[in-house]
Structure 1
Amino acid sequence: MSLSSPSCLFIRLIQRHTHITSRKCSTQSVLTKEVGKNAVVILNRPKVLNSMNVDLQKNVYKTLMDLQNKKSLIVMKGAGDRAFSSGGDLVLLKEAGLKQDWVYTNEMIIYLNANMHLIRNYKMPIIALMNGITMGGGAGYSVNSRFRVATEKTKFAMPEVKVGFLPNASATYFFHRTIGHLGYYLALTGSTIIGPDVLRAGFATHYCNHSDLPLLEEELLNCSSDRSNNAVLDTFCQKDIPELTLQPVMDKINKCFSESTVESIFTKLRDDGSPWARDTLNLMEKYSPSSLKVILKQLQKGKGMSWLECLNMEYNLTVNFYKFKDSYEGTRVVLQDKNDTPKWDPPNLADVTEELVEKHFERNSQEECNKLIKEIESS
């Protein structure tokens, strides 16, 4: 795909990294500790579960660019003991959208994609310590790292469907690389998997006890080669992992979530009638009909796409979602007015036409993207 494509905006901004890394931003949202040839990068917004705002995203990019070619290994973790990162700060994104502050909204998307591209292609190993909540953009950061260490406290999810949004952060790609149709199930229900299940599903590469993390980090920072990195991980991480908690219902997941429409998924769940199927159906019936249909189409279109093609599609989807009401309504109900009932638009699956679904996939025009680049670079 050509770099002149509007959906390759984040790649075009990567090519301007000298400008990006010189921009003014707080240094407190990301902390760095250097130990010889290695370093720790800490996502530092613990009061909000290390959720990502534009400032944090910029600082991650700046920090990783500064450390590249200088260090042999990077450990990435979240500040505190509750979260690696809960992902993008959806309340800030909602407020920006309501003010039609598209520069802020687009910067969030662009820097998320730019950072994942940098992490995925980093010259030195990045080891993500996925302790605690690892969701949304936090899941994207971790899954794209070379090594990903889960613990019994890891809570991994792409829960965006719960707020009338879509899973991005390369979820289109990595949900196709897990067991059976588990990715479809996780995307369409927003369900959380915990601890060793994160390894079993393929989202982590290693699993260790939470209590061993401080010593694991210390030993990694004293490593001098890739061979010693692997030896340290093998020493601390467990090999005997229990089977996937969802294994008893994997046949049901594969049967129901291999259907081609949301309506037929619902029918399969009703026909199944098991407690798991009833609970799953009750959960999904509460979600935005538009979000459900777009997410299913997103995964269907993404099958067979390259990683970069998936991110290009997610960029357009994310920008376009903020042109519709449901992401604002979902954020309001789930994160702000928590006792309210969402008023989805349209309210029913039958009212979500194929034309409406496809509008979410429309590419942004070249003129809009060129204007956006100028606004971002001059801000």
Structure 2
Amino acid sequence: MSSGGDDVILESVNNIGIITLNRPKALNAVNLSMVQKILPTLQEWENTQSFVLIKGAGDKAFCAGGDVRAVVEAGQKGEKLGHQFFRTEYTMNGLIGNYRIPYVALIDGIVMGGGVGLSVHGHYRICTERSLFAMPETQIGLFPDVGGSYFLPRLPGRLGYYLALTGHRLKGADIQKAGIATHYVDSRNMAHLTDELIRCKNHETIREVLDKFSVIDEKPFSLKQHQVKIDSYFAAHTMEELYFRLSEDDSEWSRKTLKTLDGMSPTSMKITLRLLQLGAQANLLECLQMEYRMAVACLANHDFYEGVRALLIDKDKNPKWNPATLEEVSSDIVANHFMKLPDSEELRHKL
């Protein structure tokens, strides 16, 4: 049995549900059509399959994120595609995080944004030397969503805050060392791994197969030399305090970090920092509900449209943020992103 059309392939093999994100030319970026097919299928499979395996077509990407260009172009016409997309996507993320049967994600290649949401909340996340992880949303006037407010604050020290605010990219085994992936496998063995996985039936047999194919990378974590500074500086309670701490340190790393932050939306940075602080004390479903409120606010404001324009549409990489500075982003602007929606518009999880 297989279904789903061209953009996502949904099939059952040996009583295992297999999802293949099938937009390789778009680096398997997930769109409304795909999440509207995946969500009900996951809901059905939870009661009918032994476990679920998700992978990406091609050898470049698992999933490079959500199709935010389509969301922005629809929003500019006054259409509500963004509201539908984020609501369905976040509902799917919550289901994955509470899934009652094993969920295995093969994150070979690029895994960013929406691709992280399709994998990081599952039981098993397998990366390779070709894997590239990032949550670059502050660069497009958004925030690290798809449950980023839940998993990022729970990474070691303040690593998650650093990844969220800077969009820093992790490669290969670093993704496992950071706690984002559960296993690291040589990409040359992925086909064999997949063949053996589709003969598994439960957590025990899945773990046995994953342990068999896992390799240990002996190199130290690439951010290890900066971890003390990351843990100290990114523990700042405000963005202004974070900037001050970085500017007091005249090291090359601090200067590079400040330059990176200077390219981000000031509003996105402030709401992201607040999001992580709140998410650290909330469960996944509460985090996703909070993120949906923020997504609705971003869809009504300037920076998300401007960030996507500058990076993905016109590609001039010269966004004009409004407000343009951290100082101009008032506490009221931040608070407005977290306001409850009317009851009929809130994200409601039915698990």
Q: TM-score, normalised by structure 2?
A: 0.94
Deviation of 1:239 (Å): 3.6
Deviation of 1:83 (Å): 0.9
Select 2:9's aligned residue among 28, 31, 34: 31
Residues 196 and 241 in structure 1, CA contact (< 8 A), matched pair in contact too? no
What residue in structure 2 maps to residue 280 of structure 1? 257
Q: What's the % identity of the aligned pairs? A: 38
Distance in 2 between residues matched to 1:36 and 1:27, nearest whole Å: 21
Local SS of the residue matching 2:125 = strand
Letter in 1 for 2:158: H
Residues 153 and 277 in structure 2, CA contact (< 8 A), matched pair in contact too? no
What residue in structure 1 maps to residue 214 of structure 2? 237
Local SS of the residue matching 1:76 = strand
What residue in structure 1 maps to residue 165 of structure 2? 188
Residues 1:260 and 2:232 aligned together: no
What residue in structure 2 maps to residue 309 of structure 1? 286
Give 1:132-211 correspondences, 5 Å limit.
132-211=109-188
Cα RMSD of the aligned pairs, angstroms, is 1.7
Letter in 1 for 2:319: P
Local SS of the residue matching 1:127 = strand
Select 1:57's aligned residue among 35, 40, 63: 35
Local SS of the residue matching 1:66 = helix
Deviation of 1:340 (Å): 4.8
Distance in 1 between residues matched to 2:174 and 2:108, nearest whole Å: 13
Distance in 2 between residues matched to 1:241 and 1:62, nearest whole Å: 41
Distance in 1 between residues matched to 2:49 and 2:335, nearest whole Å: 45
Select 2:269's aligned residue among 292, 295, 311: 292
Distance in 1 between residues matched to 2:4 and 2:322, nearest whole Å: 38
Residues 73 and 221 in structure 1, CA contact (< 8 A), matched pair in contact too? no
User: CA-to-partner distance for each residue in 1:108-152, whole Å, 9 max, x for gaps?
Assistant: 111111211222222221110011111111101111111110111
Q: TM-score, normalised by structure 1?
A: 0.88
Deviation of 1:203 (Å): 0.7
Local SS of the residue matching 1:251 = helix
Residues 1:328 and 2:328 aligned together: no
Distance in 1 between residues matched to 2:317 and 2:108, nearest whole Å: 32
Distance in 2 between residues matched to 1:75 and 1:353, nearest whole Å: 44
Deviation of 1:240 (Å): 4.7
What residue in structure 2 maps to residue 14 of structure 1? none
Residues 43 and 85 in structure 1, CA contact (< 8 A), matched pair in contact too? yes
User: CA-to-partner distance for each residue in 1:244-265, whole Å, 9 max, x for gaps?
Assistant: 1100000111111111111111
Distance in 2 between residues matched to 1:228 and 1:366, nearest whole Å: 44
Letter in 2 for 1:65: Q
The runs of 5 or more residues in structure 2 that have no matched partner are: none
Give 1:11-26 correspondences, 5 Å limit.
none
Distance in 1 between residues matched to 2:217 and 2:261, nearest whole Å: 34
Distance in 2 between residues matched to 1:41 and 1:65, nearest whole Å: 13
Select 1:40's aligned residue among 10, 18, 38: 18
Residues 27 and 59 in structure 1, CA contact (< 8 A), matched pair in contact too? no
What residue in structure 2 maps to residue 21 of structure 1? none
Residues 39 and 221 in structure 1, CA contact (< 8 A), matched pair in contact too? no
* Comparing 119-128 and 87-96, the one that deviates more: 119-128
Deviation of 1:70 (Å): 2.4
Letter in 1 for 2:322: D
Residues 29 and 59 in structure 1, CA contact (< 8 A), matched pair in contact too? no
Q: What count of residue pairs does the alignment treat as equivalent? A: 346
Give 1:50-89 correspondences, 5 Å limit.
50-89=28-67
What residue in structure 2 maps to residue 3 of structure 1? none
Distance in 2 between residues matched to 1:306 and 1:71, nearest whole Å: 26
Residues 102 and 202 in structure 2, CA contact (< 8 A), matched pair in contact too? no
**Given the superposition, is the C-alpha separation of residues 75 and 354 from structure 1 closer, same or farther in structure 2, using an over 3 Å criterion?**
same
Residues 29 and 56 in structure 1, CA contact (< 8 A), matched pair in contact too? yes
Deviation of 1:62 (Å): 2.8
